[in-house]
Structures are given as structure tokens and as C-alpha cells.
Homo-oligomer: A and B are copies of this chain.
Amino acid sequence: MKKWQKIVLFSLATLITTTLSAKEDKVYRLKLATSWGVSVPILGEAPTLLKNMVETMSNGRLLLRVDDPAKHKAGLAVMDLAKTGQYDIGYTASYYYKGKDFKLIFFTTVPFGLLPTEQHAWFEYGGGKELAQKVYANHGLIHFQGGNTGMQMGGWYKKEINSLQDLQGLKVRIPGMGGEVMSKLGVLAVTVPLGELYTSLEMGTIDAVEWISPVFDMNMGFQKIAKYYYTGWQEPASETQFLVNKKTYDKLPKDLQLILETAMSKVAKGILEKSMYENSIAWEKIKTEHPDIKVASFPVEVLQALSKANDEILDEQAAKDPVFKEILDSQRAFIQKARAWTKMGDYAYINNTSK
């Protein structure tokens, strides 16, 4: 080989290497742990929708691996998986972790609190997002709303509740804040393994079960064994969360950060809308197949006692934790304004069109 040939070859080889490595975009591979397997209605499919969206939008530069609880074995510890960096993203519900940090409840839902669109308004425009980032920064996580499953029903009761007295000693499967509030009124809030729930209610080992809403409840079959379906007060707007490890997020280039955020927003939007759709269809089916089911609300004295007990729990916590108080005050101030508008807007409309 002549000298000039060597030079040409060397130049070409160098140039090709340099050009390709400079132009070829880096591929980011993230791992997501979810709290809900694919068999869970609506929430089960959400991480896969996210995966498909970010991979298409990024043209393959952002890849997502989705692991469900059958794989990572930590459905109720997904926040820790993301916090420690074992996973880059956790798809879960903030209030699962109230034992670690009571403030986390505010980003899912609070008894007697905001409705879905009210809560979204507070979160996006009323300071909620900044409060969420402040709380989650302590856990090395960035918080994104993951979708709202809407109003939860108050639960399936075998007997009608006509007074506070009727609640005394009643065995109710109701977890979280709802359970704590009912306990203050004399209810025995019990835990029952998922597989035994139906039989426990059928056999009378428990008197009532709070589950979710028509589409989720129908799958459990409670409509076959309990006649009273009580309206909701304990979880008016259950929002899920995408919790992203901050170090992972900070390493992503700006375009991929926004692709991820925007895809999460679209998935979240779909969850509220699909919950509305599926609950509407499911309730129609329940009602048709079980016309004897009575939808009822607790009597005023019970609702007022529940509301009072709830305020006591929240106020106690606020006295201990200034950031808890800051978030509570922010939500309480906004609910006054938002509910006034909801009542003269949507509520008056429903009232007027139902005559």
C-alpha cells in the first residue's frame, strides 16, 4: 500500500468513527415497577401504554421495561424501589406510604376532600405540584400525577345504616384513612386477605367491605351478597403516581424528559376518562342483573360524625408537622372556592336536568 493510500484509509476510518459516534443518539433504558398487575382494570395496562408511547415518540432512544408485582414482589413498596434506584420509575399510589410520611396522602386523596378535576386544578395551578415536589424531594423522587380513578363508593353493607348506633362494633373491611376515621366512630376496621374477602362477607365474618367503584367491585362479586351500596366519602378522587428517581430524571436530555412527562400526562388523562366509562358500563350491568341493590348515603348524623373525626385526625397531624399543615391549609382553602363553583356549575346542572 502506498503512503497516500494509507493516509486516505486512515482519514476515512477516523472520520466515520467520529461522525457516527457524534450523531448516533444515546439510548436510555429505564425500568418501571408497578403496584398493579395487568389483571387490575384500567391501572393494569397503564405502564404498557406509557412504554409504547415513549418508545415511539423518542424513536427508540428511550426504552422502558415494565415489571409488575409478580416480578418485583413489592407491590406496596414500589416507592422504595424507585427511591433506592433499583427501579427508575415507580407506578403506585402515594397514600400507600402514609406510614412512612403521612403527608403523602394529599397527593392521592383525602376523605371529604377535592373531586378529581378540583384536585387537578389545585395540583397544576393552585400550588399542589410545588408542594408534592417539596415532599418527594426528601425521598429523592420527582412526582408526576399518574391518573385518577375517580370517586370510590362507600362500600357494600349487608344491613342498612340508620344511625351512629348501627356502626358500633360493625366489622368493616376498610383500609387507610377511611378505616382510621370509621374506627373513631366505633367501627372495627379489619384487614382480610384478598382471597378470603368474598367468603368473609358472604359468611358474615365481616359485615361490610369497602372496595373501589362499580367496575372494580363487580369483578369481586359483592353485588351478589350485599344489598346496600353506600355512596362515597372516604376517597373522592384517588390519584395514582409516577414517581421518578431524581438522578435518573436529571440524566435524561431535555427532549426525553418532556417526552416522558407528556406521555405520563396522556396516560393519566386516559385513566380518569376510562374509569368514568367503565364505571358507567359496570353500574348499568350491576343494576340490571341485581335490581334489588339499594344505593344509599349514610344518614346526616353519620356523615357529620365522619367528617368531624376526619378533621380531628388531619388537625392532629398538622400540629406535629408544619409541611403537613401547609398542604392541608392549601387544600382546605382551595376546596372552599372550587366547591362553590362546582355547585353552581356541574351540580346545579345535574340537579336541573334530573327533574
The smallest C-beta distance from A233 to any residue of chain B, in angstroms, reads 6
A263 located at the interface, meaning its Cβ lies under 8 Å from any Cβ of chain B in the complex: yes
Residues of B within 8 A of A251 (CB): none
When all copies of this chain in the complex are counted, the total is 2
Determine whether A53 belongs to the interface, using a CB cutoff of 8 Å to chain B: yes
Within 8 A of B (CB), among A93-125: 112, 115-118, 120-125
**Please, which residue of chain B has its CB at the minimum distance from the CB of A282?**
B341
Separation of A337 and B281 alpha carbons in the complex (Å): 6
Interface of chain A residues 148 through 197 with chain B (CB within 8 A): 150-151, 153
B23, A19: Cβ atoms closer than 8 Å: yes
A284 touches B (CB below 8 Å)? yes
Report B-chain residues with C-beta under 8 Å of the C-beta of A339. 350, 353-354
Mark out the residues of chain A between 287 and 337 whose CB falls within 8 Å of any chain B CB in the assembled complex.
287, 295, 297-298, 300, 303-304, 307, 334, 336-337
For the complex formed, measure the closest distance between the CB of A342 and the CB atoms of chain B, giving whole angstroms.
7
Contact across chains for B307 and A341 when beta carbons are under 8 A apart: no
Q: Chain B residues near A265 (CB, 8 Å)?
A: 262, 265-266, 269
Interface locus among A8-16, A26-34, A72-80:
A8-16
Q: B276 and A118: CB pair below 8 A?
A: yes
Interface residue? A69 (CB, 8 A): no
Nearest chain B CB to A226 CB, angstrom units: 15
Which residues of A106-147 have CB atoms within 8 Å of chain B's CB atoms?
112, 115-118, 120-126
Select A115's contact among B3, B120, B346, beta carbons within 8 Å.
B346
Max chain B CB contacts within 10 Å: which of A126, A346, A351? A346
With a cutoff of 8 Å between Cβ atoms, the chain B residues found around residue A341 in the complex are 214, 276, 279-280, 283
Give the bracket for the number of chain A residues in contact with chain B.
35 or more
Query: 0/1 per residue, A45-67, Cβ < 8 Å to B?
Result: 00000000100111100000000
Q: How far is the CB of A242 from chain B (nearest CB, A)?
A: 14
Q: Given A117-B116, A258-B57, A273-B125, A298 and B352 touching (CB < 8 A)?
A: yes
| In-complex Cβ contact of A232 among B57, B117, B270, B349 (8 A) | B349
Q: Are B347 and A347 in contact (CB under 8 A)?
A: yes
Output the nearest chain B residue to A151 by Cβ-Cβ distance.
Answer: B345
Give the Cβ gap from A309 to chain B, nearest Cβ, in Å. Answer: 14
A15-B19, A347-B347 are known contacts; what are 20 more A-B pairs with Cβ within 8 Å?
A: A3-B4, A4-B7, A19-B19, A56-B255, A57-B258, A118-B276, A124-B274, A150-B345, A153-B345, A232-B345, A233-B352, A268-B269, A276-B338, A284-B337, A284-B340, A295-B348, A339-B350, A342-B350, A346-B346, A347-B350
Which of A's residues lie within 8 Å of B, judged by CB?
A: 2-5, 7-8, 11-12, 15-16, 19, 23, 53, 56-59, 112, 115-118, 120-126, 150-151, 153, 213-214, 229, 231-233, 236, 254-255, 258-259, 262-263, 265-266, 268-270, 272-274, 276-281, 283-284, 287, 295, 297-298, 300, 303-304, 307, 334, 336-355
Cβ-closest 5 pairs across A and B? A4-B4, A151-B345, A121-B277, A121-B276, A231-B348
